Amino acid sequence: MKSLSIASIVLALVLTGCSGSNEDPQSKIAEITDRLCKTMSIIGYDYSESAIQTLDEGLLRQLLADIDELKVLAPSVLDRRLTELCK
């Protein structure tokens, strides 16, 4: 886990992609974005590797999964700043 790349976290910034359900994509994106914002608020929206490493291992895994899912469902969401996304 310590070898996480800051670049991948910064580029991704937010949600996972294991969606196999019939759930509305917009609802899924909103759910993932909300979860991402809650997780990042814990560390004050600090993208540094040291800040991210302070997350509980379960939260860190969820954050990375959420980011991966957003890359699939709505990559443009990841282009936005968290402070803008998490209003």
pLDDT tens column, 10-46? 445 443 444 455 678 999 999 999 999 999 999 988 8
For residue 38, tell me if it sits in a domain: yes
Question: Is 79 among the domain residues?
Answer: yes
- Residue 40: domain span: 6-16+23-85
Quote the pTM value: 0.69
Average pLDDT value over all residues in the chain: 79
Between the alpha carbon of residue 43 and those of residues 20, 21, 33, 40, 58, the distances in Å are 30, 31, 16, 6, 15
State the number of CA atoms in the 13 A half-sphere of 23 facing the CB. Answer: 14
Residue 1 belongs to a domain: no
Binning the chain into helix, strand and coil, the percentages to the nearest 5 are 65, 0, 35
- If one counts the domains in the chain, the total is 1
pLDDT of residue 47: 79
Domain membership of residue 57 (yes or no) is: yes
Q: Which amino acid is at 16?
A: T
d(CA 20, CA 60): 22
Give a yes or no: residue 49 inside a domain. Answer: yes
Joined tokens for residue 14 = 């937010």
